[in-house]
Amino acid sequence: MIQVVLVIHLILALAIIGLVLIQRSEGGGLGIGGGGGGIGGLASPGATANALSRATAICAGCFFATSLLLGVLANASTSKGSILDRLDEPTAVTAPAEAGADEKADKKDDKDTPPAEPSVPVAQ
């Protein structure tokens, strides 16, 4: 169910992007949907702008609805209750491993052996 709503949500997002890009802004924009042309009142710039604005508003409303639905479905599929309810529950915290524990174990085994000489000659 979540996957279906998520696909619809993504399609709506792409539709909103496309609708916004083809609308004519005050500065011109892409302006693909408008133009001074041929069919008269059917595809006049004003009618096209109203149709694109209405389609954008419908897609935005559906996008908002799918956002809320995805939030509800995500909450239902995970743990029950609020995160604030879980503040009182004790959590098991494990202590981090001590840094250099392996090195200390190696040094205990090598107490009797002399330190290795440097591989690079040191000027005296």
| The overall pTM is greater than 0.75 | no
Q: What single letter denotes the amino acid at residue 5?
A: V
| Distance in angstroms (rounded) separating the CA atoms of residues 48 and 22 | 10
Predicted local distance difference test score (pLDDT) of residue 13: 96
Between the two ends of the chain, the Cα-to-Cα distance in Å is 77
pLDDT in tens, 88-121: 767 666 766 666 655 555 555 555 666 666 666 6
The pLDDT of residue 87: 74
Phi-psi region of 81 (alpha: psi -120 to 50; beta: other; left: phi over 0): left
pLDDT given for residue 64 in this prediction: 97
pLDDT score at 80 = 66
**DSSP letters of 99-117?**
TTHHHHHHHHHTSSSPPPP
Residue with more model confidence, 99 or 84: 84
Q: Which of 11-15, 32-36, 70-74, 97-101 has the highest mean pLDDT?
A: 11-15
Distance CA 56, CA 12 (A): 10
pLDDT at position 38, please? 47
In angstroms, the CA 72 to CA 113 distance is 66
